[in-house]
Amino acid sequence: MWRVLLLATASALRVQPRRRIHSLRMAAAAASVIVETDATDSVKITIGARTLQRTAGEPLQKALGRLAPKKPKKGKKAAPAPPAPPARLLDATDSEVDVATPLLDALTRGRWLELEGARIPVALNPPTVVAVECYGEPTAGSPLMPLAELKRAEADDVCYCYSLDGEACGTGAAFTPDDEAVGRTLTVEASVGDSCVTRDLGKVAPRWRRPEHDARVAAIGAPAGIRVATYNVLADAYRHTWDAGIHTHCEPRYTAASRRIPMAIDEVLSYAPSIVALQEVDPRWWERLWLPRLRAEGYDAALVLKSGAAQEGEAIAWRRGAWTPVESREIALSIGRADAAEREIAPPSAIAEFLAAHPSAAEAMRRIGTVAQLVVLEDKDGRRLCVANTHLFFAGRATHVRTIQAALIIEEASKLCDATGASLVVVGDLNAENHDAALRYLLDGGVAADDPDWYTGSTFSWGYASSRRARARAVDAFAAADGDLDAALDAMDAAQSGDLAAERRTRAAASLRLVSREPPSGDVEELVAALAAGETYKTNPLVALFQMRADCGLRRGGLSLVDGELDAAATAVESLRARAESAAAAGRVAQTALVKAAEGDDVVGIGMRLAHSRKLASAYPRTEPYTNLAGNDFVATLDWILHEDALRTRAVAPIPDLDAVRAAYFALPSESFPSDHVCLVADLEWS
């Protein structure tokens, strides 16, 4: 599209009769006439604040007529004035363009517009700055990178100028306020040629206070060897779950994307890693914040999104001067999903047989959106790494799903490593602790068909302990009970009668935590209204009380806690836990007996034998107490940097002390931690 702006110089100002003031002001406000065309026959002419939309083939005379001063309205008393000189379009030789010329042809030839005594240059489809945005909060010590929206210009064409309280303070694509700028208003001006847009970015905030992070950077020191960082940066797409309960310990101003994401970027870059792996990356913040900063710091990078509506994914970045990309593959870690975002790989025969025998597991594998990134990088000496980055399925009891996903990654990575001669590094949020089958499969070379986690996985079904499914049951229960609380509890109990003790215990424990933290009060009408509004046992104390009583078999009457009720609920939760563990023990004994009788079959009962030949080790000790510390009392070691024996670990950035972090912040994220995960950083070297 082509755009035309008309602006007049101050020399055009002269006293005119009142009836010509509108036209005079328009000319005086214009520095140039901007003409824009598009693929249609439309021509847009902009003169200062006035815009004309015309057609390309109409005579020039019609457009010039629209620029003529308006006649005064009848009845107004005004002194007679001399007629205004007609608007004229002049070409490069100062000759007047024939007014019968088709408009677009005329404007293509025209160089000057004479209007109200002003001589205004005509610009046909000039480069234009439409807008300028800056998505991070101005903060001392943190670089800002504004982004200009452009027409007919490239990003490299833009000149950025910065000022503090109107005083020029810097230029360039990035600007880092210093401590003296705190409290002053920062402004950025983006310009291309004569086109310019200015934006007020607000007052500069004080430098972030991050003692734990500073200590980690000091402890690991300067990079030695291949520095690898992996970080689950907490997708902003899930904010609705934070403010509803999981991260209510942290003030919303600290979790705002404009503050939190620049802090995470600064954190990663402060380690000067050679390779970066990120999980839970929002695509819009990737384009607006992550990618510009990474490129400016000398990284190339790639993002892959999960399948479905999650709108987040994984990214890998590598130092441009240190690594050359050789090959990359993106795979979906689902099996049979119709709308998989990436290519699904054919499962090994044991996995295919297992899923055919277990419809619940097959359904989970069809519905998950997990993906993995595999990138082969070559250093200056010709040595190659295959970096596999992923974020495995999160559901706690879906241990079988994560183990299958780990096997799919190894299957594809082994083919890629064998084809390229690369050594394997597996990084990311594996949602697996040291005792989980997925991690033991990766680090120990396999899992047996009677591994305990196969039983755990067998108790999982899609929607396990789902708060949304529980809400739907509660809505139906109240509809059937005609609003009677005890009758609704009975109906809810009947609806949940087929649920395993482990699932009931999960819901009851979560409900008990919320009720203990926020004692409920209200009546049945308020509870029904909350359910109708979409509230669940994870977000609303009244709903949590109802769910807790349903799962714990409590009938107390009314919708407020009574003496001893929390103790009774805690006893019921413990009883459900004991029942679940007893059932698990019996199930595992039965599975072990089946495996012994099966004489080496890969798929037996509820489990299967999986093995691989990659020799992987963990950069961090397997006994690290945590890498994830969420506000719902969840503490676990889920993030890992694993590498083959062609590499060894030289150093790692130590994990902040758990007790100290809890004492200072209760949980993560916080004012000093931008995510509920800790960034892992390891220096690797060729062995």
Instruction: Give me the pLDDT at residue 29, please.
Output: 46
Spell out where 322-383 has E strands.
324-332, 343-344, 371-378
Q: pLDDT tens-digit profile of 570-607? A: 999 999 999 999 999 999 999 999 999 998 899 999 99
Tokens of 269: 């870059």
Please state the rounded mean pLDDT for residues 205-213.
97
- Which of 59-68, 439-448, 664-673 bottoms out in mean pLDDT, i.e. has the lowest? 59-68
Percentage of the chain exceeding pLDDT 90: 83
Separation of first and last alpha carbons in the chain: 58
Tokens of 562: 């009574």
Residue type, 529: A
Q: pLDDT tens-digit profile of 75-118? A: 556 566 667 788 999 999 999 999 999 999 999 999 999 988 88
Please state the rounded mean pLDDT for residues 127-143.
96
Please state the rounded mean pLDDT for residues 265-294.
98
C-alpha distances in angstroms, 444 versus 396, 448, 615, 622? Answer: 21, 11, 8, 12
Highest mean pLDDT among 268-277, 535-544, 595-604: 268-277
Q: pLDDT tens-digit profile of 154-182? A: 999 999 999 999 999 999 999 999 999 99
Residue 60's pLDDT band, with cuts at 50, 70 and 90, is: very high
Region label for 568, one of left (φ > 0), alpha (ψ between -120 and 50) or beta (otherwise): alpha
Instruction: Give me the pLDDT at residue 631, please.
Output: 81
Whether residue 394 is predicted with pLDDT greater than 70 in this model: the reply is yes
Region label for 483, one of left (φ > 0), alpha (ψ between -120 and 50) or beta (otherwise): left
For residues 542 and 520, the answer to whether their CB atoms sit within 8 Å is: yes
Please state the rounded mean pLDDT for residues 301-305.
98
For residues 261 and 292, the answer to whether their CB atoms sit within 8 Å is: no
- Helix axes of 467-481 and 541-552: crossing angle, nearest 10 degrees: 80
Instruction: Give me the pLDDT at residue 85, please.
Output: 83
Please state the rounded mean pLDDT for residues 271-295.
98
Q: Where do the domains of the chain lie, and which CATH numbers do they carry?
A: 10-72+81-124 (no CATH), 128-203 (2.60.40.2700), 211-448+609-686 (3.60.10.10), 467-579 (no CATH)
Please state the rounded mean pLDDT for residues 215-238.
96
C-alpha distances in angstroms, 353 versus 62, 359, 438, 603, 604? Answer: 77, 11, 19, 7, 10
| pTM of the shown model | 0.86
Whether residue 185 is predicted with pLDDT greater than 70 in this model: the reply is yes
Please state the rounded mean pLDDT for residues 454-470.
94
Neighbours of 564 (CB within 10 A): 10
Please state the rounded mean pLDDT for residues 377-402.
97
Residue 7's pLDDT band, with cuts at 50, 70 and 90, is: very low
Pairing of strands 275-281, 226-232: parallel
Instruction: Give me the pLDDT at residue 555, please.
Output: 80
Instruction: Give me the pLDDT at residue 26, please.
Output: 45
Owner of token pair 């005079």: 24
Mention every residue, 6+ apart, whose C-beta is less than 8 A from residue 309: none
Q: pLDDT tens-digit profile of 493-509? A: 999 999 999 999 999 99
Residue 560's pLDDT band, with cuts at 50, 70 and 90, is: confident
Q: pLDDT tens-digit profile of 77-86? A: 656 666 778 8
483 compared with 478, residue with greater pLDDT:
478
Distance CA 299, CA 388 (A): 18
Write down the mean pLDDT value for the chain: 92
Please state the rounded mean pLDDT for residues 406-423.
98
Instruction: Give me the pLDDT at residue 79, please.
Output: 64
> Which residues, in sequence order, are bridge partners of residue 328?
375
Whether residue 73 is predicted with pLDDT greater than 90 in this model: the reply is no
Residue 16's pLDDT band, with cuts at 50, 70 and 90, is: very low
Instruction: Give me the pLDDT at residue 6, please.
Output: 29
Please state the rounded mean pLDDT for residues 280-294.
97
Residue 247's pLDDT band, with cuts at 50, 70 and 90, is: confident
Q: Among residues 83, 85, 86, 111, which one has the least CA distance to residue 97?
A: 111
Whether residue 545 is predicted with pLDDT greater than 60 in this model: the reply is yes
Q: Among residues 83, 65, 133, which one has the least CA distance to residue 288?
A: 133
Q: Among residues 554, 494, 489, which one has the least CA distance to residue 524?
A: 489
Whether residue 74 is predicted with pLDDT greater than 80 in this model: the reply is no
Region label for 181, one of left (φ > 0), alpha (ψ between -120 and 50) or beta (otherwise): alpha
Residue 613's pLDDT band, with cuts at 50, 70 and 90, is: very high
Query: DSSP assignment, residue 144?
Result: B
